[in-house]
Amino acid sequence: MTFLETLLAHSPALVIATPLLSAFLVPLVGRISPRIRDIFALVMLGVTGCFIGLLASDVLSHGSRVYVFGAKNLSVPLVRILFEVDSMGMFMAIITVMLAGIAVIYSWSFLQKQDGLDKYYTLLLLVTTSALGMELTGDIFNFFVFLEISCIASCALIAFWVEEGEALEAAFKYIVVSSIGALFVLFAIGLLYAQYNALNIATLAHLLQFSFLDKIILVLLLVSLGMKAGLAPMHMWIPDSYGRTPPSIVLLIMSATLASFYGILRVIFTMYGNVLTTPLRFSLPAHLIIGWILIALAIVSILIGVIMALIQTDLLRLIAYAAVAEIGYMFLAIGTSIAALGTTYATVALQGGVLHILNDAIDIGLLFLVAGAIYFVAKKRSLDDISGLARNMKYTTVFFIIGLLAVAGMPPLNGFTSKFLIYESVYQVNPILSIIALLGSILLLAVFIKVFYAAFLGPELPELKDVKEAPRSMLLAMGFLAALAVCIGLFPNIFLDALVKPAATALLDHAQYINMVVGGL
């Protein structure tokens, strides 16, 4: 076995081990030099990214992979955890490591004068590890463990600006909401274990009967993970937390939030994939009822997100509400895909939803970074206190315009490509849903035009006359996301064919996921 083959064979473990071990090495490296520590964090994320790239190319060309931690043979007592890596997991892992890398580059300048950066980078790498773990594991209890790590590490990061009392309050709210959500997930896992004596997702999917208890488990998992993903009306922790956190940290919490969304996809499409056509109530199949529940909650999220964003004057809080609306679009696509299961537009909706995960990470991430750049140079949060920044922040202005158009779903940027697939497929289910989705996008455009007018146009305020462009590392981070938004917008097929379609197919083909484990391991 060559060195590369060995690396490839163990890459699922290395994807988790690299950021996890690096997290605890960071304080030691920080003792040598803060500069080396900053570079070390990025290099280690780069190494993790290489492992993900290696694994992704293998999974995309040879199919899903199963990696066994612990006992190789089925013997009693059986102590082992399986990682089952498919195209969907890889798609999410790529987004996670990309967001983490950008957060590190951005932090170099943004948090340069802050204390406690050793702890910051440790927690950053821990959140990345937990999100990657949630995305690659094939074990539901292991998923919960990573979810808990993500909750605790994210809470500590939200409280990073501890000198501002509100950051502590935001962290408190986050930990309460997340812990209660995680407890309900644990309760559901307990019920699963009590019934089937198994924790492996594929085994559970094979054994699941859709009994009364299974229905309770499904609801518990959907609603708890939905709250973690920021689904309205359980979204309120999002503006409170995102609004008081450094934007680089918001990128990481976003990746943890998206990992929870991924959890919902895994539960519905993989774990309950076999029983979705079972009649549930009034002879209606389960997938129709679950799909419409998700669609209803998605519409509430879109409307609450955009309507509340319109009246915000705190820029970070405003973008957080826009993020709630964007989560609504993802749920709308997934709900449509489930409600119309088996039709061609269900597949299109799922592809749109999966692509929108990437687009949400890019667009909302870019807008948060721009908001951070404004805060960095102007030291102001309120849109009422800033004006005319386009004169001195030309690059930031261009990045904001790209983010604005992308998040509002304007062609030819990336937001349009996924929203186009969502609008078209949702229209087939009910045209009114499509109209509401379009209205949401128009309102999002109105929201960010307000920000553009208030922050970048208008007269130059005397106290902001000496404002300079954001530092290079921050521009680099914003530039990377802006370039991605343009590239995906102009060449959507490349991303769709290479990443999105295999991910959507992996989700729909639950039989293959089950057979990988149940068939022989």
Partner 1 sequence: MFSLESGSGFWNPVLWVLALFILFLLFYGIRGFGKSTYKKGTEQTKVFLSGNKETSPEEMHVKASNLYWGFTTSMKSLYSLLRKMHTGNTSDYILWFVVVLAVVFLIMGVM
- DSSP-assigned letters across all residues of 148-207: HHHHHHHHHHHTTSTTSHHHHHHHHHHHHHHHHHHHHHHHHHHHHHHHHS--BHHHHHHH
Asked whether 339 and 429 are in contact (CB, 8 A), the reply is: yes
Closest to partner 1 by CB, 213 or 398: 213
Q: Which residues contact 491 (CB under 8 A, 6 or more apart)?
A: none
* Region 382-411 residues binding partner 1, contact defined as CB under 8 A: 382-384, 387, 411
- Residue 52 C-beta: closest distance to partner 1, Å: 26
Interaction of residue 26 with partner 1, rule CB under 8 A:
no
Closest to partner 1 by CB, 280 or 521: 280
* Region 458-517 residues binding partner 1, contact defined as CB under 8 A: 458-459, 461, 489-493, 496
Q: How far is 214 from 62, CA to CA, in rounded Å? A: 33
Interaction of residue 297 with partner 1, rule CB under 8 A:
yes
Asked whether 80 and 59 are in contact (CB, 8 A), the reply is: no
Out of 69, 172, 187, 375, name the contact with partner 1 by CB under 8 A. 172
Helix (H) or strand (E) holding 374: helix 344-378
Site map (CB under 8 A) of partner 1, residues 181-210, x = contact: x--x--------------------------
* Region 339-368 residues binding partner 1, contact defined as CB under 8 A: 344-345, 348
Helix (H) or strand (E) holding 456: none
Q: Which part of the chain contacts partner 1 (CB under 8 A), choosing from 11-19, 34-42, 60-68, 310-318?
A: 310-318
- Residue 108 C-beta: closest distance to partner 1, Å: 30
Out of 122, 142, 245, 425, name the contact with partner 1 by CB under 8 A. 425
* Region 229-248 residues binding partner 1, contact defined as CB under 8 A: 233-234, 236-237, 239-240
Instruction: List helix spans (H) across 197-246.
Output: 201-207, 212-229, 237-242
Three-class SS of residue 469? coil
Dihedral angle sign, alpha carbons of residues 438, 353, 223, 445 = negative
Helix (H) or strand (E) holding 310: helix 286-310
Interaction of residue 446 with partner 1, rule CB under 8 A:
yes
Closest to partner 1 by CB, 120 or 423: 423
Interaction of residue 412 with partner 1, rule CB under 8 A:
yes
Closest to partner 1 by CB, 21 or 191: 191
- Residue 489 C-beta: closest distance to partner 1, Å: 6
Three-class SS of residue 66? strand
Nearest CA-CA partner of 167 in 239, 243, 78: 243
Out of 158, 304, 467, 506, name the contact with partner 1 by CB under 8 A. 304
Closest to partner 1 by CB, 358 or 475: 358
Closest to partner 1 by CB, 207 or 307: 307
Per the omega criterion (within 30 degrees of 0), is the bond before 471 cis? no
Q: Can you give the length of the chain in residues?
A: 521
**Greatest CA span in the chain, whole angstroms?**
75
Interaction of residue 331 with partner 1, rule CB under 8 A:
no
* DSSP symbol at 113: T
Closest to partner 1 by CB, 7 or 487: 487
Asked whether 476 and 366 are in contact (CB, 8 A), the reply is: no
Interaction of residue 69 with partner 1, rule CB under 8 A:
no
Closest to partner 1 by CB, 223 or 334: 223
**Total residues interacting with partner 1, rule: CB under 8 A:** 68
- Residue 211 C-beta: closest distance to partner 1, Å: 11
Residues paired with residue 290 on neighbouring β-strands, in sequence order? none
Interaction of residue 147 with partner 1, rule CB under 8 A:
no
Nearest CA-CA partner of 41 in 105, 89, 84: 105
Interaction of residue 218 with partner 1, rule CB under 8 A:
yes
Q: What type of residue is 160?
A: F
Out of 10, 80, 173, 380, name the contact with partner 1 by CB under 8 A. 173
Closest to partner 1 by CB, 181 or 502: 181
- Residue 159 C-beta: closest distance to partner 1, Å: 15
- Residue 450 C-beta: closest distance to partner 1, Å: 5
- Residue 520 C-beta: closest distance to partner 1, Å: 34
Helix (H) or strand (E) holding 395: helix 394-407
Q: Which residues contact 174 (CB under 8 A, 6 or more apart)?
A: 151, 154, 155, 158, 237, 240, 241
Q: How far is 179 from 143, CA to CA, in rounded Å? A: 14
How remote is the C-alpha of 126 from its chain's centroid?
A: 15
Nearest CA-CA partner of 314 in 447, 165, 462: 447
Name the residue with tokens 């820029």.
Answer: 315
Out of 58, 118, 148, 424, name the contact with partner 1 by CB under 8 A. 424
Out of 19, 89, 101, 226, name the contact with partner 1 by CB under 8 A. 226
Site map (CB under 8 A) of partner 1, residues 270-289, x = contact: ----------xx-------x
Residues paired with residue 70 on neighbouring β-strands, in sequence order? 80
* Binding footprint of partner 1 on the chain (CB under 8 A): 172-173, 176-177, 180-181, 184, 212, 215-216, 218-220, 222-224, 226-227, 233-234, 236-237, 239-240, 280-281, 289-290, 293, 297, 304, 307-308, 310-311, 313, 344-345, 348, 382-384, 387, 411-412, 416-417, 420-421, 424-425, 427-428, 446, 450-451, 453-455, 458-459, 461, 489-493, 496
